[in-house]
Structure 1
Amino acid sequence: MAVRAAHPVRTLRDLVATLEAAITLVRTNAKSKPVHDLRTTTRRIEAQLELLALLPDLPEHRKPAKKARKLLRKLRRAAGRVRDLDVQRGLIRSKSDEAHKLRSLFKQQRGQAVERLLDIVHKHQSKLDRHLKALLEMLTSAQSLAIPAEHLIQLTLDWYAHQTSAPIHRNHRQLHDIRKAAKLARYIIESAGSASTRHLALTFESLQKSGGDWHDWHTLSRIARRELSSSSSLTQSFTHRREKSLAEYQSQLKALPRNLAPSNPRNIA
Protein backbone atom coordinates (compact mmCIF):
# COMPACT_ATOMS: atom_id res chain seq x y z
CA MET A 1 0.00 0.00 0.00
CA ALA A 2 1.35 3.42 -0.95
CA VAL A 3 2.38 5.71 1.89
CA ARG A 4 0.26 8.83 1.95
CA ALA A 5 1.92 12.21 2.32
CA ALA A 6 1.02 15.86 2.75
CA HIS A 7 1.71 18.26 -0.11
CA PRO A 8 1.59 21.67 1.60
CA VAL A 9 2.21 23.92 -1.41
CA ARG A 10 -0.24 22.01 -3.57
CA THR A 11 -2.80 22.06 -0.76
CA LEU A 12 -2.26 25.78 -0.25
CA ARG A 13 -2.88 26.41 -3.95
CA ASP A 14 -6.15 24.44 -3.79
CA LEU A 15 -7.26 26.30 -0.66
CA VAL A 16 -6.58 29.68 -2.26
CA ALA A 17 -8.93 28.70 -5.09
CA THR A 18 -11.49 27.53 -2.52
CA LEU A 19 -11.20 30.86 -0.69
CA GLU A 20 -11.86 32.80 -3.87
CA ALA A 21 -15.04 30.79 -4.47
CA ALA A 22 -16.12 31.16 -0.82
CA ILE A 23 -15.72 34.95 -0.93
CA THR A 24 -17.72 35.15 -4.16
CA LEU A 25 -20.55 33.14 -2.59
CA VAL A 26 -20.64 35.21 0.60
CA ARG A 27 -20.84 38.42 -1.41
CA THR A 28 -24.13 37.16 -2.92
CA ASN A 29 -25.39 34.98 -0.07
CA ALA A 30 -24.21 35.71 3.47
CA LYS A 31 -26.24 32.94 5.07
CA SER A 32 -24.89 30.64 7.76
CA LYS A 33 -23.21 27.94 5.67
CA PRO A 34 -21.39 30.23 3.19
CA VAL A 35 -20.07 32.31 6.09
CA HIS A 36 -19.00 29.17 7.96
CA ASP A 37 -17.24 27.83 4.85
CA LEU A 38 -15.43 31.14 4.40
CA ARG A 39 -14.26 31.17 7.99
CA THR A 40 -13.11 27.54 7.84
CA THR A 41 -11.19 28.10 4.61
CA THR A 42 -9.26 31.02 6.11
CA ARG A 43 -8.34 28.77 9.05
CA ARG A 44 -7.21 25.98 6.75
CA ILE A 45 -4.98 28.39 4.84
CA GLU A 46 -3.53 29.65 8.11
CA ALA A 47 -2.83 26.02 9.07
CA GLN A 48 -0.88 25.43 5.85
CA LEU A 49 1.10 28.61 6.48
CA GLU A 50 1.92 27.34 9.97
CA LEU A 51 3.09 24.07 8.47
CA LEU A 52 5.23 25.80 5.85
CA ALA A 53 6.85 27.91 8.57
CA LEU A 54 8.05 24.68 10.21
CA LEU A 55 9.84 23.41 7.11
CA PRO A 56 13.50 24.19 6.36
CA ASP A 57 15.01 24.97 2.99
CA LEU A 58 11.91 26.44 1.37
CA PRO A 59 12.19 29.40 -1.03
CA GLU A 60 12.01 32.73 0.77
CA HIS A 61 8.31 33.57 1.15
CA ARG A 62 7.96 35.21 4.56
CA LYS A 63 7.03 38.69 3.35
CA PRO A 64 3.89 37.81 1.32
CA ALA A 65 3.00 35.14 3.90
CA LYS A 66 3.05 37.74 6.68
CA LYS A 67 0.92 40.16 4.66
CA ALA A 68 -1.54 37.43 3.70
CA ARG A 69 -1.83 36.27 7.32
CA LYS A 70 -2.74 39.78 8.44
CA LEU A 71 -5.57 40.07 5.91
CA LEU A 72 -6.74 36.51 6.49
CA ARG A 73 -7.03 37.34 10.19
CA LYS A 74 -9.21 40.35 9.43
CA LEU A 75 -11.44 38.28 7.17
CA ARG A 76 -11.64 35.35 9.59
CA ARG A 77 -12.54 37.50 12.55
CA ALA A 78 -15.27 39.30 10.60
CA ALA A 79 -16.71 36.01 9.36
CA GLY A 80 -16.31 34.58 12.85
CA ARG A 81 -18.43 37.33 14.34
CA VAL A 82 -21.30 36.46 11.99
CA ARG A 83 -20.84 32.75 12.61
CA ASP A 84 -20.81 33.22 16.40
CA LEU A 85 -24.12 35.08 16.26
CA ASP A 86 -25.62 32.26 14.20
CA VAL A 87 -24.46 29.73 16.79
CA GLN A 88 -25.73 31.81 19.73
CA ARG A 89 -29.16 32.18 18.17
CA GLY A 90 -29.25 28.45 17.55
CA LEU A 91 -28.48 27.66 21.18
CA ILE A 92 -31.58 29.53 22.41
CA ARG A 93 -34.40 26.97 22.43
CA SER A 94 -36.71 28.72 24.89
CA LYS A 95 -39.90 30.47 23.69
CA SER A 96 -39.92 32.99 26.55
CA ASP A 97 -39.98 36.77 26.20
CA GLU A 98 -36.36 36.87 27.39
CA ALA A 99 -35.36 34.42 24.68
CA HIS A 100 -37.19 36.48 22.08
CA LYS A 101 -35.31 39.57 23.27
CA LEU A 102 -31.95 37.86 22.84
CA ARG A 103 -32.81 36.41 19.45
CA SER A 104 -33.94 39.85 18.24
CA LEU A 105 -30.71 41.37 19.51
CA PHE A 106 -28.62 38.75 17.74
CA LYS A 107 -30.57 39.20 14.52
CA GLN A 108 -29.90 42.93 14.57
CA GLN A 109 -26.22 42.42 15.41
CA ARG A 110 -25.88 39.83 12.66
CA GLY A 111 -27.05 42.34 10.06
CA GLN A 112 -24.40 44.76 11.26
CA ALA A 113 -21.76 42.03 11.33
CA VAL A 114 -22.57 41.01 7.75
CA GLU A 115 -22.16 44.63 6.65
CA ARG A 116 -18.79 44.70 8.40
CA LEU A 117 -17.73 41.44 6.75
CA LEU A 118 -18.72 42.64 3.28
CA ASP A 119 -16.95 45.93 3.87
CA ILE A 120 -13.73 44.08 4.75
CA VAL A 121 -14.09 41.89 1.66
CA HIS A 122 -14.61 44.98 -0.51
CA LYS A 123 -11.61 46.80 0.97
CA HIS A 124 -9.10 43.96 1.19
CA GLN A 125 -9.95 41.19 -1.28
CA SER A 126 -7.74 42.49 -4.09
CA LYS A 127 -4.78 42.94 -1.73
CA LEU A 128 -5.29 39.48 -0.26
CA ASP A 129 -5.46 37.97 -3.75
CA ARG A 130 -2.26 39.75 -4.69
CA HIS A 131 -0.34 38.59 -1.61
CA LEU A 132 -1.52 35.00 -1.97
CA LYS A 133 -0.58 34.98 -5.65
CA ALA A 134 2.88 36.33 -4.82
CA LEU A 135 3.24 33.71 -2.10
CA LEU A 136 2.37 30.86 -4.45
CA GLU A 137 4.73 32.18 -7.11
CA MET A 138 7.60 32.23 -4.62
CA LEU A 139 6.80 28.63 -3.65
CA THR A 140 6.53 27.33 -7.23
CA SER A 141 9.80 25.42 -7.02
CA ALA A 142 8.47 23.60 -3.92
CA GLN A 143 5.25 22.56 -5.65
CA SER A 144 6.16 18.86 -5.51
CA LEU A 145 7.22 18.94 -1.85
CA ALA A 146 5.83 15.92 0.00
CA ILE A 147 5.85 15.28 3.75
CA PRO A 148 5.45 11.61 4.76
CA ALA A 149 2.57 11.02 7.16
CA GLU A 150 4.78 9.99 10.07
CA HIS A 151 6.91 13.11 9.72
CA LEU A 152 3.75 15.25 9.53
CA ILE A 153 2.49 13.66 12.74
CA GLN A 154 5.68 14.56 14.59
CA LEU A 155 5.72 18.10 13.21
CA THR A 156 2.11 18.58 14.29
CA LEU A 157 2.64 17.19 17.77
CA ASP A 158 5.70 19.39 18.30
CA TRP A 159 3.82 22.46 17.04
CA TYR A 160 0.80 21.75 19.25
CA ALA A 161 3.00 21.15 22.31
CA HIS A 162 4.67 24.52 21.75
CA GLN A 163 1.33 26.29 21.35
CA THR A 164 -0.15 24.80 24.53
CA SER A 165 2.82 25.13 26.87
CA ALA A 166 1.58 27.58 29.50
CA PRO A 167 1.73 28.20 33.26
CA ILE A 168 -0.10 25.90 35.67
CA HIS A 169 -3.04 28.24 36.28
CA ARG A 170 -5.10 28.52 33.11
CA ASN A 171 -7.71 31.22 32.57
CA HIS A 172 -10.51 31.36 30.02
CA ARG A 173 -8.22 32.89 27.41
CA GLN A 174 -5.78 30.00 27.71
CA LEU A 175 -8.60 27.45 27.44
CA HIS A 176 -9.77 29.24 24.32
CA ASP A 177 -6.23 29.21 22.92
CA ILE A 178 -5.95 25.46 23.47
CA ARG A 179 -9.15 24.96 21.48
CA LYS A 180 -7.83 27.13 18.63
CA ALA A 181 -4.52 25.26 18.63
CA ALA A 182 -6.39 21.96 18.40
CA LYS A 183 -8.34 23.27 15.43
CA LEU A 184 -5.21 24.33 13.52
CA ALA A 185 -3.44 21.10 14.44
CA ARG A 186 -6.40 19.16 13.07
CA TYR A 187 -6.25 21.07 9.78
CA ILE A 188 -2.49 20.53 9.52
CA ILE A 189 -2.70 16.78 10.13
CA GLU A 190 -5.72 16.32 7.85
CA SER A 191 -3.66 17.42 4.85
CA ALA A 192 -2.03 13.97 4.66
CA GLY A 193 -5.36 12.15 4.43
CA SER A 194 -3.88 8.82 5.53
CA ALA A 195 -5.04 6.10 7.89
CA SER A 196 -2.09 6.80 10.18
CA THR A 197 -3.10 10.46 10.62
CA ARG A 198 -6.86 9.97 10.81
CA HIS A 199 -6.97 8.97 14.48
CA LEU A 200 -4.92 11.99 15.54
CA ALA A 201 -7.09 14.29 13.40
CA LEU A 202 -10.21 12.92 15.09
CA THR A 203 -8.65 13.47 18.52
CA PHE A 204 -7.93 17.10 17.69
CA GLU A 205 -11.42 17.50 16.20
CA SER A 206 -13.04 16.13 19.35
CA LEU A 207 -10.98 18.49 21.52
CA GLN A 208 -11.87 21.39 19.24
CA LYS A 209 -15.58 20.57 19.50
CA SER A 210 -15.51 20.14 23.28
CA GLY A 211 -13.71 23.44 23.73
CA GLY A 212 -16.01 25.09 21.21
CA ASP A 213 -19.13 23.95 23.06
CA TRP A 214 -17.75 25.41 26.29
CA HIS A 215 -16.79 28.68 24.62
CA ASP A 216 -20.21 29.08 22.97
CA TRP A 217 -22.08 28.59 26.26
CA HIS A 218 -19.59 30.81 28.09
CA THR A 219 -20.20 33.62 25.58
CA LEU A 220 -23.98 33.19 25.63
CA SER A 221 -24.19 33.19 29.42
CA ARG A 222 -22.06 36.34 29.59
CA ILE A 223 -24.31 38.12 27.08
CA ALA A 224 -27.43 36.99 28.95
CA ARG A 225 -26.09 38.37 32.23
CA ARG A 226 -25.45 41.70 30.56
CA GLU A 227 -28.72 41.94 28.59
CA LEU A 228 -31.09 40.28 31.06
CA SER A 229 -29.63 39.87 34.56
CA SER A 230 -27.71 37.30 36.54
CA SER A 231 -30.96 36.31 38.28
CA SER A 232 -32.81 35.64 35.02
CA SER A 233 -33.95 32.04 34.68
CA LEU A 234 -32.61 31.99 31.13
CA THR A 235 -29.23 33.30 32.27
CA GLN A 236 -29.12 30.66 34.99
CA SER A 237 -29.94 27.97 32.43
CA PHE A 238 -27.12 29.15 30.18
CA THR A 239 -24.74 29.30 33.14
CA HIS A 240 -25.60 25.71 34.03
CA ARG A 241 -24.86 24.60 30.47
CA ARG A 242 -21.61 26.56 30.58
CA GLU A 243 -20.47 24.79 33.75
CA LYS A 244 -21.45 21.40 32.36
CA SER A 245 -19.59 21.96 29.10
CA LEU A 246 -16.57 23.34 30.98
CA ALA A 247 -16.42 20.19 33.11
CA GLU A 248 -16.58 18.05 29.97
CA TYR A 249 -13.82 20.07 28.33
CA GLN A 250 -11.61 19.85 31.42
CA SER A 251 -12.22 16.12 31.62
CA GLN A 252 -11.21 15.67 28.01
CA LEU A 253 -8.05 17.72 28.50
CA LYS A 254 -7.04 15.60 31.49
CA ALA A 255 -7.73 12.37 29.58
CA LEU A 256 -5.52 13.26 26.62
CA PRO A 257 -2.55 11.01 25.85
CA ARG A 258 0.71 12.23 27.34
CA ASN A 259 1.98 13.49 23.99
CA LEU A 260 -1.12 15.68 23.58
CA ALA A 261 -1.79 16.80 27.14
CA PRO A 262 -1.19 20.54 27.71
CA SER A 263 1.60 21.28 30.14
CA ASN A 264 0.47 21.10 33.78
CA PRO A 265 -3.21 20.40 32.99
CA ARG A 266 -4.36 20.58 36.61
CA ASN A 267 -5.93 23.70 38.10
CA ILE A 268 -7.72 24.58 34.89
CA ALA A 269 -10.11 27.42 35.67
Structure 2
Amino acid sequence: MTLIQKKIRGLTADFKKLLARLERDVTPKDVHHLRTTIRRMESLIGYTHPEVGRKQQKAIDELDSLRKRAGKVRDLDIQMGLLGEIGNGSTAEDRRSMMEYLKARRHRQAMRLLSDIRDIDHHKLFPRLGKISEKVDGLAPDGAEALPLAQALAALREMANKAPARSSLKAARMHEMRISLKRIRYTAELAEDSEARQQFLEALKPVQDAIGEWHDWETLLATAEKQFRGRVNCPLLVEMRALFSAKFSSATSAVSRLFAKFASPEGRKPSAAAAAPDLARPA
Protein backbone atom coordinates (compact mmCIF):
# COMPACT_ATOMS: atom_id res chain seq x y z
CA MET A 1 0.00 0.00 0.00
CA THR A 2 1.42 3.40 -0.98
CA LEU A 3 1.68 6.37 1.37
CA ILE A 4 -1.11 8.17 -0.53
CA GLN A 5 -3.38 5.14 -0.12
CA LYS A 6 -2.66 4.98 3.60
CA LYS A 7 -3.38 8.69 4.00
CA ILE A 8 -6.79 8.68 2.30
CA ARG A 9 -7.91 5.66 4.32
CA GLY A 10 -6.58 7.11 7.56
CA LEU A 11 -8.24 10.47 6.95
CA THR A 12 -11.58 8.82 6.19
CA ALA A 13 -11.37 6.84 9.44
CA ASP A 14 -10.47 10.00 11.40
CA PHE A 15 -13.39 11.83 9.80
CA LYS A 16 -15.83 9.13 10.89
CA LYS A 17 -14.53 9.22 14.48
CA LEU A 18 -14.78 13.01 14.62
CA LEU A 19 -18.40 12.96 13.51
CA ALA A 20 -19.22 10.53 16.31
CA ARG A 21 -17.48 12.69 18.93
CA LEU A 22 -19.07 15.91 17.69
CA GLU A 23 -22.52 14.38 17.95
CA ARG A 24 -21.84 14.10 21.69
CA ASP A 25 -20.21 17.50 22.21
CA VAL A 26 -19.21 20.28 19.80
CA THR A 27 -15.84 21.01 21.40
CA PRO A 28 -13.41 23.59 19.96
CA LYS A 29 -10.71 20.92 19.59
CA ASP A 30 -12.90 18.54 17.58
CA VAL A 31 -14.33 21.34 15.44
CA HIS A 32 -10.77 22.36 14.54
CA HIS A 33 -9.78 18.76 13.78
CA LEU A 34 -12.88 18.27 11.64
CA ARG A 35 -11.93 21.26 9.50
CA THR A 36 -8.30 20.24 9.07
CA THR A 37 -9.20 16.61 8.36
CA ILE A 38 -11.63 17.62 5.62
CA ARG A 39 -9.06 20.07 4.24
CA ARG A 40 -6.51 17.29 3.99
CA MET A 41 -9.04 14.97 2.34
CA GLU A 42 -9.89 17.67 -0.20
CA SER A 43 -6.20 18.35 -0.81
CA LEU A 44 -5.47 14.68 -1.45
CA ILE A 45 -8.44 14.33 -3.80
CA GLY A 46 -7.39 17.50 -5.61
CA TYR A 47 -3.81 16.26 -5.90
CA THR A 48 -4.74 12.91 -7.48
CA HIS A 49 -7.63 14.26 -9.61
CA PRO A 50 -9.72 11.06 -9.68
CA GLU A 51 -12.60 10.87 -12.15
CA VAL A 52 -15.72 10.87 -10.01
CA GLY A 53 -19.34 10.25 -10.80
CA ARG A 54 -22.32 12.38 -9.82
CA LYS A 55 -22.89 10.62 -6.49
CA GLN A 56 -19.22 10.78 -5.57
CA GLN A 57 -19.12 14.48 -6.43
CA LYS A 58 -22.10 14.93 -4.14
CA ALA A 59 -20.04 13.41 -1.32
CA ILE A 60 -17.19 15.85 -2.06
CA ASP A 61 -19.67 18.74 -2.02
CA GLU A 62 -21.04 17.49 1.29
CA LEU A 63 -17.53 17.55 2.76
CA ASP A 64 -17.05 21.11 1.53
CA SER A 65 -20.33 22.25 3.06
CA LEU A 66 -19.53 20.61 6.39
CA ARG A 67 -16.05 22.16 6.47
CA LYS A 68 -17.50 25.62 5.89
CA ARG A 69 -20.09 25.09 8.62
CA ALA A 70 -17.37 23.99 11.04
CA GLY A 71 -15.37 27.04 9.99
CA LYS A 72 -18.08 29.35 11.28
CA VAL A 73 -17.83 27.73 14.71
CA ARG A 74 -14.04 27.73 14.62
CA ASP A 75 -13.89 31.44 13.78
CA LEU A 76 -15.97 32.25 16.85
CA ASP A 77 -13.82 30.01 19.07
CA ILE A 78 -10.75 31.92 17.90
CA GLN A 79 -12.40 35.31 18.37
CA MET A 80 -13.33 34.47 21.96
CA GLY A 81 -9.77 33.36 22.63
CA LEU A 82 -8.31 36.58 21.23
CA LEU A 83 -10.78 38.72 23.15
CA GLY A 84 -9.62 37.05 26.34
CA GLU A 85 -6.03 38.13 25.60
CA ILE A 86 -6.87 41.84 25.85
CA GLY A 87 -6.05 43.00 29.36
CA ASN A 88 -6.66 46.75 29.15
CA GLY A 89 -8.80 47.60 32.19
CA SER A 90 -10.70 50.36 30.40
CA THR A 91 -12.08 47.80 27.95
CA ALA A 92 -13.44 45.38 30.58
CA GLU A 93 -17.13 46.23 30.26
CA ASP A 94 -17.07 46.19 26.47
CA ARG A 95 -15.15 42.91 26.50
CA ARG A 96 -17.78 41.30 28.71
CA SER A 97 -20.54 42.54 26.43
CA MET A 98 -18.78 41.30 23.33
CA MET A 99 -17.93 37.94 24.90
CA GLU A 100 -21.60 37.30 25.63
CA TYR A 101 -22.43 38.23 22.04
CA LEU A 102 -19.78 35.84 20.68
CA LYS A 103 -20.90 33.01 22.98
CA ALA A 104 -24.49 33.38 21.76
CA ARG A 105 -23.36 33.31 18.13
CA ARG A 106 -21.12 30.32 18.81
CA HIS A 107 -24.01 28.39 20.36
CA ARG A 108 -26.21 29.04 17.31
CA GLN A 109 -23.50 28.00 14.86
CA ALA A 110 -22.64 24.92 16.92
CA MET A 111 -26.27 23.83 16.84
CA ARG A 112 -26.33 24.27 13.06
CA LEU A 113 -23.16 22.21 12.73
CA LEU A 114 -24.63 19.52 14.96
CA SER A 115 -27.80 19.50 12.86
CA ASP A 116 -25.76 19.09 9.67
CA ILE A 117 -23.78 16.23 11.21
CA ARG A 118 -26.94 14.44 12.32
CA ASP A 119 -28.44 14.88 8.86
CA ILE A 120 -25.56 12.99 7.24
CA ASP A 121 -26.67 9.71 5.70
CA HIS A 122 -23.75 7.49 6.70
CA HIS A 123 -25.06 4.65 4.52
CA LYS A 124 -24.54 6.86 1.46
CA LEU A 125 -21.66 9.18 2.36
CA PHE A 126 -19.06 6.64 3.48
CA PRO A 127 -19.57 4.14 0.63
CA ARG A 128 -19.18 7.07 -1.77
CA LEU A 129 -16.01 8.18 0.00
CA GLY A 130 -14.86 4.57 -0.22
CA LYS A 131 -15.33 4.63 -4.00
CA ILE A 132 -13.30 7.84 -4.19
CA SER A 133 -10.61 6.19 -2.06
CA GLU A 134 -10.45 3.26 -4.49
CA LYS A 135 -9.97 5.65 -7.39
CA VAL A 136 -7.27 7.53 -5.50
CA ASP A 137 -5.57 4.16 -4.87
CA GLY A 138 -5.41 3.55 -8.60
CA LEU A 139 -3.77 6.92 -9.19
CA ALA A 140 -1.07 6.50 -6.55
CA PRO A 141 1.66 4.26 -8.01
CA ASP A 142 4.64 3.12 -5.95
CA GLY A 143 7.54 5.56 -5.98
CA ALA A 144 5.38 8.68 -6.35
CA GLU A 145 5.61 9.72 -2.69
CA ALA A 146 8.29 12.38 -3.29
CA LEU A 147 6.30 14.20 -5.98
CA PRO A 148 4.03 16.22 -3.64
CA LEU A 149 7.05 17.91 -2.02
CA ALA A 150 8.51 18.82 -5.41
CA GLN A 151 5.15 20.26 -6.48
CA ALA A 152 4.79 22.21 -3.23
CA LEU A 153 8.30 23.62 -3.58
CA ALA A 154 7.65 24.63 -7.19
CA ALA A 155 4.39 26.35 -6.20
CA LEU A 156 6.10 28.24 -3.38
CA ARG A 157 8.93 29.35 -5.65
CA GLU A 158 6.42 30.60 -8.20
CA MET A 159 4.65 32.61 -5.48
CA ALA A 160 7.98 34.01 -4.28
CA ASN A 161 9.03 35.06 -7.78
CA LYS A 162 5.73 36.82 -8.46
CA ALA A 163 5.25 38.42 -5.03
CA PRO A 164 5.31 42.21 -4.73
CA ALA A 165 7.66 44.05 -2.40
CA ARG A 166 6.64 44.11 1.26
CA SER A 167 5.62 47.77 1.02
CA SER A 168 3.12 46.82 -1.69
CA LEU A 169 1.49 43.94 0.19
CA LYS A 170 -2.17 44.77 0.74
CA ALA A 171 -4.84 42.94 2.71
CA ALA A 172 -6.50 41.38 -0.35
CA ARG A 173 -3.18 39.97 -1.57
CA MET A 174 -2.36 38.67 1.90
CA HIS A 175 -5.66 36.79 1.95
CA GLU A 176 -4.78 35.14 -1.36
CA MET A 177 -1.36 34.18 -0.01
CA ARG A 178 -2.88 32.78 3.18
CA ILE A 179 -5.07 30.38 1.19
CA SER A 180 -2.31 29.48 -1.28
CA LEU A 181 0.17 28.70 1.49
CA LYS A 182 -2.38 26.41 3.13
CA ARG A 183 -2.74 24.47 -0.12
CA ILE A 184 1.02 24.28 -0.52
CA ARG A 185 1.42 22.94 3.01
CA TYR A 186 -1.28 20.30 2.58
CA THR A 187 0.33 19.19 -0.69
CA ALA A 188 3.75 18.90 0.99
CA GLU A 189 2.21 16.82 3.78
CA LEU A 190 1.29 14.18 1.19
CA ALA A 191 4.98 13.45 0.63
CA GLU A 192 6.88 10.69 2.39
CA ASP A 193 8.43 11.61 5.72
CA SER A 194 11.94 12.96 5.17
CA GLU A 195 14.29 15.65 6.40
CA ALA A 196 13.49 17.73 3.31
CA ARG A 197 9.75 17.51 4.02
CA GLN A 198 10.29 18.45 7.66
CA GLN A 199 12.46 21.45 6.74
CA PHE A 200 9.92 22.65 4.22
CA LEU A 201 7.00 22.43 6.66
CA GLU A 202 9.05 24.11 9.40
CA ALA A 203 9.80 27.00 7.04
CA LEU A 204 6.10 27.44 6.29
CA LYS A 205 4.76 27.17 9.86
CA PRO A 206 5.86 30.54 11.35
CA VAL A 207 4.66 32.35 8.25
CA GLN A 208 1.28 30.65 8.31
CA ASP A 209 1.02 31.37 12.03
CA ALA A 210 1.77 35.07 11.46
CA ILE A 211 -0.71 35.40 8.59
CA GLY A 212 -3.30 33.40 10.51
CA GLU A 213 -3.00 35.65 13.58
CA TRP A 214 -3.40 38.74 11.42
CA HIS A 215 -6.48 37.24 9.75
CA ASP A 216 -7.97 36.26 13.12
CA TRP A 217 -7.53 39.79 14.49
CA GLU A 218 -9.03 41.20 11.31
CA THR A 219 -12.10 39.01 11.82
CA LEU A 220 -12.43 39.99 15.49
CA LEU A 221 -12.01 43.68 14.66
CA ALA A 222 -14.72 43.48 12.00
CA THR A 223 -17.07 41.88 14.53
CA ALA A 224 -16.28 44.55 17.13
CA GLU A 225 -16.79 47.37 14.64
CA LYS A 226 -20.29 46.09 13.96
CA GLN A 227 -20.98 45.62 17.66
CA PHE A 228 -19.78 49.13 18.62
CA ARG A 229 -20.34 50.99 15.35
CA GLY A 230 -21.98 53.93 17.14
CA ARG A 231 -18.89 54.59 19.30
CA VAL A 232 -16.02 55.95 17.24
CA ASN A 233 -13.61 56.25 20.18
CA CYS A 234 -14.57 53.00 21.91
CA PRO A 235 -11.48 51.95 23.97
CA LEU A 236 -11.86 48.34 22.88
CA LEU A 237 -11.84 49.31 19.20
CA VAL A 238 -8.79 51.52 19.71
CA GLU A 239 -6.95 48.63 21.39
CA MET A 240 -7.96 46.13 18.71
CA ARG A 241 -6.91 48.42 15.85
CA ALA A 242 -3.47 48.84 17.38
CA LEU A 243 -3.07 45.07 17.79
CA PHE A 244 -4.39 44.44 14.28
CA SER A 245 -1.87 46.88 12.80
CA ALA A 246 0.98 45.17 14.65
CA LYS A 247 -0.16 41.73 13.45
CA PHE A 248 -0.29 42.95 9.84
CA SER A 249 3.26 44.25 10.10
CA SER A 250 4.45 40.92 11.55
CA ALA A 251 2.66 38.97 8.82
CA THR A 252 4.10 40.99 5.93
CA SER A 253 7.57 40.69 7.44
CA ALA A 254 7.24 36.90 7.77
CA VAL A 255 5.97 36.56 4.19
CA SER A 256 8.83 38.68 2.84
CA ARG A 257 11.44 36.57 4.65
CA LEU A 258 9.90 33.34 3.33
CA PHE A 259 9.80 34.58 -0.25
CA ALA A 260 13.36 35.90 -0.05
CA LYS A 261 14.46 32.41 0.99
CA PHE A 262 12.59 30.49 -1.69
CA ALA A 263 12.77 32.72 -4.77
CA SER A 264 14.51 30.83 -7.58
CA PRO A 265 17.81 32.03 -9.11
CA GLU A 266 16.06 33.32 -12.23
CA GLY A 267 13.28 34.89 -10.17
CA ARG A 268 12.74 38.14 -8.34
CA LYS A 269 15.46 37.67 -5.69
CA PRO A 270 18.30 35.60 -7.16
CA SER A 271 20.60 35.89 -4.12
CA ALA A 272 18.10 34.33 -1.70
CA ALA A 273 17.57 30.88 -3.22
CA ALA A 274 20.70 29.11 -2.03
CA ALA A 275 18.95 27.15 0.73
CA ALA A 276 16.01 25.97 -1.38
CA PRO A 277 17.63 23.06 -3.28
CA ASP A 278 18.32 21.23 0.00
CA LEU A 279 14.57 20.97 0.53
CA ALA A 280 14.04 19.36 -2.86
CA ARG A 281 16.38 16.45 -2.14
CA PRO A 282 14.99 13.46 -0.24
CA ALA A 283 16.77 12.87 3.06
- TM-score, length-scaled by structure 1: 0.82
In the aligned structure 1, how far is the partner of 2:59 from the partner of 2:173?
A: 25
- Partner Cα separation in structure 1 for residue 55 and residue 143 of structure 2: 22
5 Å matches for 1:14-163? 14-53=10-49, 60-61=51-52, 66-93=57-84, 94=87, 96-126=92-122, 127-142=124-139, 145-149=142-146, 151-160=147-156
Structure-1 residue corresponding to 2:242: 240
Q: Tell me the equivalent position of 1:210.
A: 210
Moved more, 137-146 or 174-183: 137-146
- Structure index of larger Rg: 2
What amino acid is aligned across from residue 253 of structure 1 in structure 2? Answer: V
Deviation digits for residues 52-93 of structure 1 (CA, Å, limit 9, x no counterpart): 13xxxxx64476664343222211111111111111111113
Aligned pairs (5 A) from 1:152-231: 152-160=148-156, 171-191=170-190, 192-228=192-228, 229-231=231-233
Change (3 A) 1:165 1:42: farther
Give the Cα–Cα distance (whole angstroms) in 2 for the partners of residues 62 and 19 of structure 1. Answer: 21
Q: Which moves more between the two structures, 131-140 or 160-169?
A: 160-169
Give the Cα–Cα distance (whole angstroms) in 2 for the partners of residues 188 and 29 of structure 1: 31
Q: CA RMSD in A?
A: 2.9
Q: CA deviation at 1:147?
A: 2.2
Give the secondary-structure state (helix, strand or coil) at the position aligned to 1:255: helix
Gap runs ≥5 in structure 2: 270-283
> Could you tell me which residue of structure 2 aligns to residue 255 of structure 1?
257
Assess if the C-alpha contact under 8 Å between 2:207 and 2:258 holds in 1.
no
Q: Where does residue 279 of structure 2 map in the other structure?
A: none
Structure-2 change in CA distance of 1:148 and 1:211 (3 Å) = same
Q: Percent identity?
A: 24
Pairwise CA distance, 1:101 = 0.7
CA distance in 1, matches of 2:40, 2:194: 18
Residue range with higher mean Cα deviation, 138-147 or 26-35: 138-147
Number of residue pairs the alignment of both structures matches: 254
